[in-house]
Chains A and B, each alone.
Chain A
Amino acid sequence: MIIVQILINGLLLGGFYAVIGVGFSLIWGVTNIINLAHGAMALLGAYITFFLFQEYGIDPFLSLPFSFLCLFIFGYILQRFLLNLVVRAQIFMLLILTFGIEIFLVNFMTTFFSADFRSITPEYAGTSFVIGDIVIPYIRLAVFAICIFVTFLLSLFLNKTWHGKAIKATSLDLDAAMMVGISPAKIYALTFAIASGIAGVAGSLLPLTQAFSPSIAGSLTLRAFTVSILGGLGRVEGALIGGILLGIAETLSSYFIGESYKNAITLGIMVLVLVIKPTGLLGKKYFAEVKH
């Protein structure tokens, strides 16, 4: 029975990983930038939710749109006025640049919000429903539902709206997109903004399920990266599958091998997938990769 509980925990955790990963994967797929500041941006969302709850007593779930909006604006400005300036440089320049941003943000948060571990416990935190031996906390279920909903919305946006289609077009062929009147600078900024916004939402969900501090930014980015690798770049549904696979793999390995090897196992899985099947488990080349 315990194995079912582990699988369900993994599934619920995987929903969260999917939302962390989907934005990262979108930025990578469309602009070919590895955003190493992704985890730090998610933490900004976490702090927004945390402070709104602590200072004004606003329910964490209600602060999601606000956190999305803040990070959306932040992401737009960042891409439009900073990343767009170097987007054609060699890849390791972009890596080091986003790492610079990560260091900046993490130290900013440590200085102004302190390095303490924080979490939110609303009144309904302890409630859960029980089937036989299996316990499912309502909060985790709600987080999972929101995660699915967000990925669904993103998928809808990319496939149905003009801007979404423009993003996909830009990623498939930059020159052709420019020829039909799409401004790549704006589309890159929009992509980055949406992805940051989703990172903010993911961050806002974080304090509900675990304690956080600026120091976990790196491990969040790592999860996002692994999810992107597992699911394939820029693929929304891929990120969902990748996230759930990662969540289950982590909970299983924590149970059977030990909690302290969790990161090593995540990385092991990632390196294995990279070496065996570099295009991700879903296996199609997509978006930015087509160009190369």
Chain B
Amino acid sequence: MKKSILLFGIFLIIMLCLPFFVSGYWLRVLTQTFMFAAIATGSNIIIGYTGYPAFGNIAFFGVGAYVTGVLMTKFEISFLATLPFCALSGFIIAVLLGIPLLRLKGHYFAIATIGVMEAIREIVDNMTDITGGGMGLTLPIMAGEPAYIYKFFYYAIMLIMLFSIAVAFIIWRSKFGYALRAIRIDEDAASVMGINTTVYKTLAWALSAALVGIVGGAYAYWLTYIDPHTAFETTYSVKMFAMILLGGATTVLGPMIGAFILELISEIVWSKFIEIHGMILGALIVFIVLFIPKGLFETFKGGFSLRKIIINLKEYRL
């Protein structure tokens, strides 16, 4: 535990200094990585801790993006003041949907959340008066030099990521987090032990939705243009899941590490194969599921070895 905190501290210091040494391109890549790390960490509260595969959690990302977008363009509220609203809207929507949907389990829940995402997308698409519909929404551009703006978003989204990690960490260490893990392992048993599973599950989803919503808000202002397809991007859902899997769903820092590995691989490898980068993403996901299904953390706890990969391959086969 001490060791990982130390490593995280060193990592943090490097990340804080980095903007003064790297080019704008890498600043952007890292900002996007922070963004995915924040999404994955936030979503992991419901996915990894509680064991409910909320496949469509990107819905709240889109909601956050549109809350910021609409509040800034229509009501001229400043960027930072919109973020609490992003969190709040995610929280409220997740509570309202969670009460009926969290009764479903496994596949059913996963697909129902995809359904929710598509439905919200379609509603946003059709509310042309407020959201601009398919034409999208153009946000005011931040004042200042490009270099300054780059750094601003780098630190802002990094701060959001750290906030998500802090929340996830506090939940993990608290009694609440303990209850969530109990629900994942055996929901009926948890209920017998006196955990009000409906309240806990709903709260877990709502918190994760709030965190993802904040990221969405920052994303909208960063890109300054959103439309229903970029805000509710299905590929993001898949990437988020792959990151959580890669890093390990039952850890606090796992999703962040997964995000860094996947995003950096994508920048280094895919940028050379623009045409087929989607195919490589698909193949990479298949590879992760086949060979490191428990995440890097669990798989290589006692050191790296090829044998562990082969054992993994045998474990779940028919």
- Tell me the smallest distance from the CB of B212 to a CB of chain A, in Å: 17
B123 closest partner in A (C-beta): A264
B279/A108 in contact, CB under 8 A: yes
User: Which residues of A from 47 to 77 have beta carbons under 8 Å from B?
Assistant: none
Q: Are A267 and B286 in contact (CB under 8 A)?
A: no
B197 to chain A minimum Cβ distance, whole angstroms, is 17
A-B contact count (CB 8 A): 141
- A218/B234 in contact, CB under 8 A: yes
Query: Taking the complex as formed, is B137 at the interface, i.e. its CB lies under 8 A from any CB of chain A?
Result: no
A107 near B282 with CB under 8 A, answer: yes
Tell me, yes or no, whether A281 is within 8 Å of chain B by CB: no
Query: Closest residue to A88 on the B side, CB-wise?
Result: B316
- Interface residues of B, dominant DSSP: helix
Q: How far is the CB of A230 from chain B (nearest CB, A)?
A: 13
CB < 8 Å: which of B108, B285, B316 contacts A278?
B108
Which chain A residues border B122 with CB–CB below 8 Å? 260-261, 263-264
Within 8 A of B (CB), among A88-110: 88-89, 91-93, 95-97, 99-108, 110
Establish whether residues B238 and A260, one from each chain, have CB atoms under 8 Å apart when the complex forms: no
Report A-chain residues with C-beta under 8 Å of the C-beta of B277: 107
Within 8 Å CB of A153, what residues of B? none
B residues lining the A interface (CB < 8 Å): 47, 53, 55, 100-101, 103-104, 106-108, 110-112, 114-116, 118-119, 122-123, 125-126, 234-235, 238, 241-242, 245, 275-279, 281-286, 289-290, 293, 313, 315-318
30 A-B residue pairs with Cβ-Cβ distance under 8 Å, sorted by A, are A34-B111, A82-B286, A85-B316, A85-B318, A88-B315, A88-B318, A89-B293, A89-B315, A91-B106, A92-B241, A95-B53, A96-B241, A99-B285, A100-B238, A100-B281, A100-B282, A100-B284, A103-B278, A103-B282, A103-B285, A107-B278, A108-B279, A184-B318, A185-B318, A222-B118, A260-B122, A263-B119, A267-B115, A267-B119, A270-B111
**Which 4 pairs, one residue from A and one from B, show the smallest C-beta to C-beta distance?**
A104-B282, A107-B278, A100-B285, A103-B282
